[in-house]
Amino acid sequence: MHSMTAASPKPAAASVPQKALEKLGLKRDIDLALHLPLRYEDETRITRLRDARDGDHIQIEARVMESEVSYRPRKQLIVTVDDGTDTCTLRFFSFYPSQQKALAVGNRILARGEIKGGFLGRTMLHPSFRAAGGDLPTALTPIYPTVAGLPQPYLRKAVLGGLARAELSDTFAPGDLSQLDTHIGSHPLWTLRQALQFLHHPTPDVSLDTLQDHSHPAWQRLKAEELLAQQLSQLQSRRARAALRAPELRLPLPEPPDSLHQRLLAVLPFGLTNAQRRVGAEIANDMRRHTPMHRLLQGDVGAGKTVVAALAAAICMDTGWQCALMAPTEILAEQHFRKLLGWLEPLGITTAWLTGTQKAKERRAMLALIESGEAKLVVGTHAVIQEKVHFKNLALAVIDEQHRFGVAQRLALRGKLKHDAMEPHLLMMTATPIPRTLAMSYYADLDVSTLDELPPGRTPIVTKVVNEARRDEVIERIHAQIAQGRQVYWVCPLIEESEALDLSNATQTHAELAEALGDVKMPNGDMAQVGLLHSRMPPDEKKAVMAAFVQGHTAVLVSTTVIEVGVDVPNASLMVIEHAERFGLSQLHQLRGRVGRGAAASACVLLYSTGDAPRLGESARERLKAMVETNDGFEIARRDLEIRGPGEFLGARQSGEAMLRFANLATDTVLLDWARKEAPMLLDKHPALAEKHVQRWLGTKAEFLKA
């Protein structure tokens, strides 16, 4: 494969590219073989200058007619070449003496770049070039994803070597290839080695569109293999977990009326929805088994996940074991704590509270309650999993907003049960519903329960998209809400001024609203108060601000996204999100869910700004449009997956490493269905081949799926 010499710095010493390869994760031969090009350049053909059109990326063979260094308006190397049909000027703003020598008058060169027409004739800016002569390549030249210090020629050579050495024999059972053949629609079916060799060096007659959109049979083969590896890894994790032991949390059936579970049901100030009953039964059945529960409870904002978790905790405590609930932020953890305390304390349950900001004396007292077993329920932030926390007998761990926690944190919580080599049951909760394709792939090792019904009394929320220019009208609307005794959230994306982002900050907005609403009275005669809440405030100050809003003393709460999840103030009926175009779709939906929690008609105003641009970007427009068109969290999640891809849905589930590099869950559902059916058959009939397949594709990443 010929490669051009670009006008760029000289390659560094061999040790630097080696480190750069490792930075890209290219440690094994198979890693190099699977490092596929971003795009291709066609060096297989020569284009005559007279046939080239403005904007074409072409390769020309020409003789250097003039070559000089000019210093006006800045230092540059200007080279005029002639291919016999026309002339062209090559311009280089950075160059080495060796390159200047290679472009001396009379030399014949091959140059490749984008041709531009202009008043002074045709030009190429910083084309790649080499001496003419020798055979042209017979395949397209790959351009690989790279990092600083790793030039394309070095990377091409490394990939070529890795591809030659990699062990690429089929890991399918012989009879299964015909099934894959049918799904890919390729006759005959490409082998893995053929597919990889083609994608690294495709022939020039291939349709570039099929390479770019990954619809070529070679790409289909790779995507099918990758999806199969993921499904196998998930299935292995599920089966490995099935071999573990967990406490059997069994209540007698029928349950005695004096059980904690029944007493909690009796004191709840509301009835359960059918969905809550169904999901509660699924969780109770899981906990009765001797294998650890590994269940994801998903439900839209306000669907009542906390009460389901409380009832599961009651079963756990009824049987003499401890339960822990962990939330990602102190505000959310405290909200859970207060709710659970209100329900369980009258029933004689001692609940411990753990956060990283506790005073030492209070912390020591809580740790003693947990270790003795007197505290049956422990609620807190990541402080719950610290080394000094010793449970007497933890049997159920509940993790709220699970995507905000890393793998190591979840594993640490599972390791808190030191009792006959058993593991606690694990219930994870999320208010970001998971689209079907994600549930089938990234979450295939979980049992998923869905709360698909909102409690009665929740009012639909009207969403409006409003230009920043109409800010005064929004403030007038706040006047009216306060006068009616309602409360308002105003969410800002930044805390302090940033030179990089010209955004209003929470402090400035707080001052502006305090002045604008200074003469507004609430129905009780008090003057309207505007509170300020952001993540950098001391914990005690945060608690005081939140308490004032919950109790109705504050009419407007100006906040950063610390109120994104869990905060429950039924009297709040208006949510204003400033610079809504800066927020992700699921985050906008979470924020909107802070209102509409009472009987009053509620609204969400999405204030947007285009800055200096004439209009919003396409992605931002799609997000705001989706918010107006639907309140359904599952539809929001589906559209979010379309707009952003799966990365942000997963959060820290894979410690930030996407497990799919090639397959696209939005378009490859047929291949995903095939992989789901194939994985159990391969694992059952050919376990050695299955393990080889997982190691080839995932290596150590397979470990991420075990949390």
649: in domain: no
pLDDT digit string, tens, across residues 484-519: 889 999 998 764 545 444 445 788 888 888 888 877
Shared domain for 61 and 201, answered yes or no, is no
pLDDT in tens, 302-343: 788 889 999 999 999 999 999 999 888 787 788 788 888 889
Could you give the count of Cα atoms lying within 13 Å of 261 in the half-sphere of its Cβ? 23
* pLDDT reported for residue 419: 66
- Predicted local confidence at residue 144, as pLDDT: 92
Q: Are residues 469 and 543 in the same domain?
A: yes
- Same domain flag for 376 and 324: yes
Q: Please tell me what DSSP assigns to residue 664.
A: -
% pLDDT > 70, the chain = 87
Q: Are 181 and 83 in the same domain?
A: no
369: Cβ contacts below 8 Å, ≥ 6 apart: 350, 352, 375
The per-residue pLDDT of the chain, averaged, comes to: 84
Tell me if residue 485 falls in helix, strand or coil.
coil
Burial class for 200, CB neighbours closer than 10 Å (0-12, 13-18, 19+): buried
**Residue finishing a domain among 133, 165, 197:** 165
The count of other CB atoms within 10 Å of the CB of residue 94 is: 12
Q: How far apart are CA 295 and CA 287, in angstroms?
A: 10
Half-sphere exposure of 626 (CA within 13 A, CB side): 27
Residue 127 maps to a domain: yes
Last residue of a domain, one of 426, 451, 476: 451
Question: In this model, does residue 546 exceed pLDDT 90?
Answer: no
**Within a domain: 636:** no
Flag whether pLDDT at 175 surpasses 70: no
What span, in angstroms and rounded, lies between the C-alpha atoms of 321 and 304?
A: 24
Structure confidence at residue 9 as a pLDDT band (50, 70, 90): very low
pLDDT on residue 86: 93
Residue 659: pLDDT band by 50, 70, 90 thresholds? low
The answer to whether residue 269 is domain-embedded is: no
Q: Is residue 4 part of a domain?
A: no
1 burial class (0-12, 13-18, 19+ CB within 10 angstroms)?
Answer: middle
Alpha carbon 16 to chain centroid, angstroms:
31
pLDDT of res. 707: 46
Confidence of residue 105 (pLDDT cuts 50, 70, 90): very high
Mark whether 548 and 625 lie in a shared domain.
yes
Same domain (yes/no): 487, 566 = yes
Burial of 700 (0-12, 13-18, 19+ CB in 10 A): exposed
State the total domains in the chain: 4
Which pLDDT score is estimated for 654?
41
> Which uninterrupted H or E stretch holds 194?
helix 192-200
Together in a domain, 63 and 187: no
Is the bond preceding residue 204 a cis peptide, omega within 30 degrees? no
Mean pLDDT of the region 600-616:
85
pLDDT of amino acid 561: 65
Give the pTM.
0.71
pLDDT band at 657 (very low <50, low <70, confident <90, very high): very low
- Position 311 scores a pLDDT of 95
Question: 68 versus 702: which is more confidently predicted?
Answer: 68
At 118 the pLDDT is: 74
Looking at residue 73, its pLDDT comes to: 84
User: In this structure, what DSSP letter does residue 659 have?
Assistant: S
Q: Which domain holds residue 415?
A: 275-451
Residue with more model confidence, 569 or 59:
59
Residue 457: Cβ within 10 Å count: 10
For residue 186, pLDDT over 80 is answered with: no
CB-based contact 315:261 (threshold 8 Å): yes
Domain at 595, CATH number: 3.40.50.300
Residue 411: the pLDDT is: 66
In the prediction, which pLDDT does 499 show?
Answer: 40
519 burial type by CB count under 10 A (0-12 exposed, 13-18 middle, 19+ buried): exposed
Q: Domain check: are 386 and 527 in the same one?
A: no
Nearest CA to 508 out of 487, 488, 532 is that of: 532
Look at residues 385, 275, 390, 380 and name the one whose alpha carbon lies nearest to residue 334. Answer: 380
Q: Is 379 inside any structural domain?
A: yes
* 99, part of any domain: yes
Does residue 577 fall inside a structural domain? yes
Same domain as 415, residue 298: yes
CA-to-CA distance for 592 and 606, rounded, in angstroms?
10
| 46 confidence band (pLDDT: 50, 70, 90) | very high
Task: Using the 3D structure, point to which of 165, 183, 201 is the last residue of a domain.
Answer: 165
Q: Locate the DSSP E strands across 344-486.
A: 351-354, 377-380, 394-400, 425-430, 447-451, 461-467
445-480: per-residue pLDDT in tens?
788 898 888 777 677 789 999 998 899 999 999 988
pLDDT digits (tens, 9 = 90+) for 392-437: 999 999 988 765 555 566 667 666 766 667 889 999 888 777 777 7
| pLDDT tens string 289-310 | 999 998 989 887 778 888 999 9
Residue 106 shares a structural domain with residue 73? yes
Contact status, residue 545 vs residue 330, Cβ threshold 8 Å: no
Q: Are residues 403 and 482 in the same domain?
A: no
Same domain? For 512 and 608 the reply is yes
Least reliable range by pLDDT among 321-325, 354-358, 665-669? 665-669
